[in-house]
Structure 1
């Protein structure tokens, strides 16, 4: 049986708004044509706070202003989180009808990708009962928030490799006040994206039983016209 194909877009540091639009367009095209391959975008963002569609703004500890990173409300589930350089963000655009049309299963698979990835660096990642994400020694190193339309996914996961964590001090991350945020570099010094991303790509391909096929960035849909 041939493996499913998943187009892989390896991005550098790109603003959140641009990648958000790419996700929306990739999802829209797959709603129009479900036979299009799945896609995975891997990227870093400049500092930005994002809130899920039903997120409580009281979890922001500041009033948005020009001196702080932008705050963007988006269509994923979950509360507020923070993106910044040193964090590897993954946006899978998957047709779950090809995999398993079950969002709880999908969330657990994303966690599994991260757990297997950090294990390759002798770091023990764990789940926390009743919560979504991955923890190491009680510190949350990966946040996950998704959206699905007709079983086609967008948004995804953010893995803290070596970011400046101070931006998390201005929010209640994911609405969880009693659990700290951490990064892989706290447990394995010197880790960076160049080391971690190839491992994560391999684990993603194994967990979702697909072949990642790198794509030219010019093939990303900038509009739906």
Structure 2
């Protein structure tokens, strides 16, 4: 797993012009990237959404690429962090799988715009390709948990572990297209529904 970003690049270490800080600029930038597409979203468009000049943006970040890096770290760092928690590393494989899936739903909702951006990457730049490689590494860890749960008899074995992983994340990733934070469906209930639907079909 890649090392955390250097402290010099963290959102709390950067000061900018009055009215915005790096985190607020980043949030708006991600909204713009998701609306227009990263490649089409110029610094001029971003400046228009912020109501400041392009040169003022550079008081917060050195480039559009750095905004993308920070945004992807929000998403990937959250997902990778789940795998380091006790619930993901100890216990029966099916319990660890459930823990990671619940955590993934929670991160997706908490960091919805950032995860949306991650899921829409096309791999056109080295940074995007690196991010996609980290995402695939996360998926491989889940596939390993699925396989371990199959081997200990917790999950059905007539479906390949990789297929199960793709189907699980096909369901979870679709949440970015329709879930509205703050609505009647809580994060806890959403995770419960995902687990109930998935595991009822996976347990023999």
- Identify whether the pair has TM-score above 0.5, normalized to the shorter chain: no
TM-score of the pair, normalised by structure 2: 0.33
Q: Which has the higher contact order (CA 8 A, sep 6+)?
A: 1
Larger radius of gyration, structure 1 or 2? 2
Greater fraction of residues in strand? 1
Q: Which has the higher helix share?
A: 2
